[in-house]
Structure 1
Amino acid sequence: MLLYTAAPPPELGFATAACFGKTCVAQRTGGCTARPMPSTPFPEAIRSLESCSARLEALPAGLAQNIAH
């Protein structure tokens, strides 16, 4: 699936499924390949502030518990 505000080139094979205002969702045939999200790079000027032991959770445990109930 692709979320876009500017249509992709036709040769990529996406077909628009729905639009909401100026934003559209498109899909192309075939399966998907799961890929890990790349980490966000830290600019050199603030690299010393990065803490390897203090990574943020994508969904904090407290919120995950609230969603499950």
Structure 2
Amino acid sequence: MNEKKVALRIAILGWGSLIWDQRPEFDMHHKGWLRGGPVLMLEFSRISESRKSALTLVIDNTHGEPCETS
């Protein structure tokens, strides 16, 4: 049998504080951000448990606004 190997590719999409906030425990797992990612429908739809109950942006196809990711 002739099996074709497929390389696994993983993408990390970032917006908001994922881009501008320095977090070595996260940043060590990716290279620099590339601009011009896909447009996602984002909205402040979640309350953060780790950021003093701040509202956070999440993918929200119902209430979100188009936002280009990196």
User: Which TM-score applies when normalising by structure 2?
Assistant: 0.22
TM-score (norm: length of structure 1)? 0.22
Q: Which has the larger radius of gyration?
A: 1
**Comparing both structures, which one devotes a greater share of its residues to strand?**
2
| Structure (1 or 2) with the greater helix fraction | 1
Question: Which fold has the larger relative contact order, with Cα–Cα distance below 8 Å and residues 6 or more apart in sequence?
Answer: 2
